[in-house]
Every structure is written in C-alpha cells, then in structure tokens.
Amino acid sequence: MHQAVQQFVERMGVMMEADGMPRIAGRIFGFLLVHTGAFSLDDLAEQLQVSKASVSTNARLLEQLGVIERIAAPGDRRDYYQMQDDAWARMLHVAQRRWEGMRRVLREAGDALPDGMDVGRERLLEAERFHELLAEESERL
C-alpha cells in the first residue's frame, strides 16, 4: 500500500476511534474510501494486516451504518465490500435518527421527573432543544 494511503487509513482509524468507533472500522472505511471496486474479507484483512474475523465484525458495523455495502459476485460464495454511492447522505440520515431518538428520550424523561427537580428538567429541555436544532439544521444540507 502506498505510504500516503497507509497514513490516511491509519489516521481515519484514529479519528473514528476518537468518535467511539473501533479503530479497525475507521481503517476499513478509510481504505474503501480511497479505493475503487469491491474487496473480499480476505483482501481487506491482507491489506490492513488484521484478522479476517476483525474485518468481518467491523465491516458489518459499517454496513449497518450505511456507509459501505456488501455485494456478491456470481459464482463466488465470498462477500465483497465497497463504498456506498450515497455514503454521506446515509451517514446524515443515521445521525438524524439518532438525534430524534435522543430528543424523544429527553422529552419523556423531562415529563416524568418528579416535582422539585426544576434544574434537571431545565437541563433536559436544553438538551432536547439542542438536538432539535441539530435535526433542523441538518435538513438544510
């Protein structure tokens, strides 16, 4: 792997790890982001020098997030992974669903707090408004 590609892949791993994702998921994402075509689990494991099991687990995670897709080749029993064409829109949609879920949890908690917890209720309302703002602003993108 070219040195610039290797550095980018490693940096994506570190960046996504800082966001709470497994480092290998970030490395897979970075690798697929700069390469065209589809890669088998064996290909990815070899290129990234990690176990096939780790690639499989983290590729499924990225697939669930909607940023990569699993495809099959005719006559080949192996799965292949490639970038989703609309990965960025899918990432935004996943984030919007997460923000809406958080708003719902915050609203329900605020409604259920007992009397005398005004500060807590205000904090929950502030957090709910923040997530509402995120959702509204992201709709403009």
Is the pLDDT reported for residue 73 higher than 90?
no
Strand 39-40 with 68-72, pairing = unpaired
In the chain, pLDDT over 70 holds for what percent of residues?
100
Alpha-helical (H) ranges within the chain are 3-18, 23-34, 41-48, 52-65, 87-112, 118-139
Task: Please tell me the predicted confidence (pLDDT) of residue 67.
Answer: 92
Question: Whole-angstrom distance between the N-terminal and C-terminal Cα of the chain?
Answer: 35
SS3 65: helix
